[in-house]
């Protein structure tokens, strides 16, 4: 079953996407040269941007008819704009969960999500001392802990070497499989798509009109 | 040559004050501050504008009429709105309306309370309404400007935070609220700090003016305290209303913040 599909999708009259079908529970890589509209496509999927024409269907329903906040919580985009609050790792979980009006996970659970993202820090660690790559992984861990139905990762390994990138994706995918989570990855790294992709969608075909 | 306790300045006496500008010019030259032109333009403009205002006010005071007072109020309000809008070009059309309505609404409410409830004179009495509205509108405008600038700066420097929270499915209003709270605080602080130092660091302008013209200092302080409270209130009210009405214009019913992609 397709969890997300698109029809005649056009953004701002200059990116025309091929029709896209994303199967539930799969690990799907979006590839295409830079500027082909991969990040934009993810923002269209979570309705932070609207297409100029065409339609996107989530679980068979046109997303125009879905409450956008609920959609974003289920189709969660881990974007490239990494942002962490000042304070400790635990404070960050606390802040993000209070924004979502949810109880934060307990320490064991937080440590579990950190370990998936290859982080082994005490929860009291201040985020200001984290390196760019560590901050990015903590950011991913926080998003992942919300256990969405679809997780969209935009260049999740941009600040990592190949070895770490592979471990990170392997563990994320392992979690996704147990939770029946669909994973959509935008990555330039061919090593990763070769190893992990169950489906590759090339949007290079999308035309600049 | 005294009249109600104040020395009337003859044109000759008055022009002596311009001699002080020579000091400013000399220092500017010496210190290589290349603002000679601005100094001259500013002095000339101030002189011409105030002279005109003097003539207009003299006419209005000699021929008091609700029509003239209202026209003066209207002009001043439109000017305050124009200044606030021209300093914040990033505002969308609805946000501009929010600024205009907030400035005009808050200014008029506070002015009316001051003139009708506190001083208890006719609202169209130009002697009270015109100078008080100038102080109230001017300060409201400065407050709103400061608030908008702080909101914009904060938002621009924290785009990643806004994007992150949007992606998490948080309501735009909840995302923007901290920015507007912060902006309100920034707008209010100068007025509050001003109140803290008042009477010790400086004698405020209005009180100085009243004392110079022969008013008893005890009466002058009552007016000064009253106007400061009125100013603090109008800054708070106008800025709060601007930001609250304004941030609603920054997102649509799809919970998208269009502003994020524009500025």
pLDDT beyond 50 at A70: yes
Nearest-Cα distance to chain A for B250, in Å, is 13
Q: Please state the rounded mean pLDDT for residues A155-167.
A: 90
Q: In sequence order, what E strands does chain B have?
A: 2-3, 6-7
Residues 6+ apart with CB under 8 A from A167: A118
pLDDT, tens digit, 9 for 90 and up, residues A9-46:
999 888 899 999 999 999 999 998 888 899 999 999 99
Nearest-Cα distance to chain A for B239, in Å, is 25
Q: What is the pLDDT of residue B261?
A: 75
Contact in structure between B228 and B204 (CB atoms under 8 Å): yes
Range of the domain at A136: 2-208
Q: What is the pLDDT of residue B201?
A: 74
Q: Which residue has the tokens 């529970």?
A: A25
C-alpha B146/C-alpha B191 separation (Å) is: 11
Nearest-Cα distance to chain A for B175, in Å, is 8
Contact in structure between B12 and B23 (CB atoms under 8 Å): no
Note every long-range contact of B30-38, with CB atoms under 8 Å and residues 24 or more positions apart, other chains counting: none
Contact in structure between A183 and A172 (CB atoms under 8 Å): yes
The DSSP line for B53-102 is: HHHHHHHHHHS--HHHHHHHHHHHHHHHHHHHHHT-TT--HHHHHHHHHH
A69 to chain B: which residues are within 8 Å by CB? 169-171, 255
Q: Say which CATH number the domain at A159 has.
A: 3.40.50.300
Is B96 part of the contact surface with chain A (CB cutoff 8 Å)? no
Is B262 part of the contact surface with chain A (CB cutoff 8 Å)? no
Contact check, Cβ <8 Å, B166/A48? yes
pLDDT, tens digit, 9 for 90 and up, residues B16-59:
999 999 999 999 999 999 989 999 999 999 999 999 999 999 99
Residue in chain A closest to B157 (alpha carbons) equals: A83
Is A99 part of the contact surface with chain B (CB cutoff 8 Å)? yes
Contact check, Cβ <8 Å, A79/B161? no
Is B163 part of the contact surface with chain A (CB cutoff 8 Å)? yes
For B253, phi then psi, to 5°, come to -80, -5
Is B160 part of the contact surface with chain A (CB cutoff 8 Å)? yes
Rounded alpha-carbon distances, angstroms, from residue B29 to B42, B45, B256: 17, 22, 54
C-alpha B181/C-alpha B102 separation (Å) is: 17
Q: What is the pLDDT of residue B2?
A: 42
C-alpha A54/C-alpha A83 separation (Å) is: 32
Of A48, A50, A70, the CB nearest to B167: A48
pLDDT, tens digit, 9 for 90 and up, residues A106-124:
999 999 999 999 999 999 9
The count of CB pairs under 8 A between chains A and B is 61
Residue B119 DSSP symbol: I
| Tens-level pLDDT at each residue, chain B (263 residues) | 344 567 888 999 999 999 999 999 999 999 999 989 999 999 999 999 999 999 999 999 999 999 999 999 999 999 999 999 999 999 999 999 999 999 999 999 999 999 999 999 999 999 999 999 999 999 999 999 999 999 999 999 999 999 999 999 999 999 999 999 999 999 999 999 989 888 887 778 888 889 999 999 999 999 999 999 999 999 999 999 999 999 999 999 999 998 777 75
Q: Which of residues 171-230 of B touch A (CB under 8 A)?
A: 171, 174-175
Among A39, A45, A46, A48, the residue to mutate for chain B (most B Cβ within 10 A) = A48
Q: What is the pLDDT of residue A206?
A: 55
B192 token code pair? 């509050």
Q: Please state the rounded mean pLDDT for residues A130-158.
A: 96
B175 to chain A: which residues are within 8 Å by CB? 99
Q: What is the pLDDT of residue B5?
A: 67
Contact check, Cβ <8 Å, A83/B164? yes
Q: Where are the domains of chain B?
A: 1-63, 66-262
Phi-psi region of A33 (alpha: psi -120 to 50; beta: other; left: phi over 0): beta
More confident position, B3 or A188: A188
Contact check, Cβ <8 Å, A73/B165? no
Contact check, Cβ <8 Å, A47/B170? no
Of B159, B160, B254, the CB nearest to A68: B254
Nearest-Cα distance to chain B for A45, in Å, is 11
Q: What is the pLDDT of residue A7?
A: 96
Phi-psi region of B22 (alpha: psi -120 to 50; beta: other; left: phi over 0): alpha
Contact check, Cβ <8 Å, A48/B169? no
Among A44, A72, A102, the residue to mutate for chain B (most B Cβ within 10 A) = A72
Residue burial B181-218, b: 16+ Cβ < 10 Å; e: rest? ebbbebbbeebeebeeebeeeebbebbeebbeeebeee
Please state the domain count of chain A: 1
Contact check, Cβ <8 Å, A96/B163? no
Is A27 part of the contact surface with chain B (CB cutoff 8 Å)? no
């Amino acid at each position: 079953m397709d969890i997300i599909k698109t029809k005649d999708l056009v953004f701002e009259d200059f990116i025309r996407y091929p029709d896209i079908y994303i199967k539930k529970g799969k690990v799907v890589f979006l590839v295409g040269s830079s500027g082909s509209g991969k990040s934009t496509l993810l923002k269209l999927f979570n309705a932070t941007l609207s297409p100029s024409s065409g339609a996107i269907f989530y679980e068979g329903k046109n997303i125009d008819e879905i409450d956008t906040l609920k959609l974003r919580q289920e189709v969660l985009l881990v974007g490239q704009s990494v942002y962490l609050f000042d304070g400790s790792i635990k404070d960050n979980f606390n802040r993000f969960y209070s924004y979502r009006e949810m109880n934060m996970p307990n320490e064991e659970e937080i440590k579990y999500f950190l370990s998936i993202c290859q982080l082994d820090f005490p929860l009291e660690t201040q985020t200001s001392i984290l390196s760019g790559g560590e901050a990015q992984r903590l950011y991913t861990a926080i998003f992942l802990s919300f256990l969405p139905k679809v997780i969209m990762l935009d260049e999740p390994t941009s600040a990592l070497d190949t070895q770490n990138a592979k471990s990170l994706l392997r563990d994320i995918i392992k979690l996704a499989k147990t939770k029946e989570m669909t994973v959509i990855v935008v990555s330039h790294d061919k090593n990763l798509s070769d190893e992990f992709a169950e489906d590759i969608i090339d949007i290079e075909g999308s035309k600049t009109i | 040559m005294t009249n109600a306790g104040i020395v009337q300045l003859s044109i000759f006496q008055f022009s002596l004050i311009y001699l002080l500008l020579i000091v400013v010019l000399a220092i500017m030259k010496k210190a290589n501050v290349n603002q000679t032109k601005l100094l001259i333009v500013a002095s000339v403009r101030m002189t011409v504008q105030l002279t005109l205002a003097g003539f207009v006010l003299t006419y209005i005071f000699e021929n008091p009429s609700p029509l003239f007072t209202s026209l003066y109020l209207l002009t001043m309000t439109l000017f305050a709105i124009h200044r606030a809008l021209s300093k914040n070009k990033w505002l969308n059309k609805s946000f501009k309306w929010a600024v205009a309505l907030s400035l005009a609404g808050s200014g008029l409410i506070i002015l009316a309370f001051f003139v009708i409830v506190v001083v208890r004179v006719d609202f169209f009495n130009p002697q009270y309404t015109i100078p008080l509205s100038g102080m109230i509108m001017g300060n409201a405008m400065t407050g709103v400007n400061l608030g908008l600038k702080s909101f914009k700066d904060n938002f621009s420097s924290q785009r990643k935070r806004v994007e992150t929270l949007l992606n998490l499915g948080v309501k735009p209003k909840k995302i923007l609220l901290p920015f507007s709270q912060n902006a309100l605080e920034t707008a209010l602080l100068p007025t509050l700090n001003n109140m803290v130092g008042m009477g010790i660091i400086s004698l405020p302008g209005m009180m100085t003016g009243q004392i110079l013209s022969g008013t008893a200092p005890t009466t002058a302080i009552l007016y000064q305290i009253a106007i400061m409270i009125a100013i603090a209130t109008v800054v708070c009210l106008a800025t709060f209303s601007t930001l609250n009405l304004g941030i609603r214009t920054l997102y649509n019913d799809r919970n998208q913040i269009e502003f994020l992609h524009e500025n």
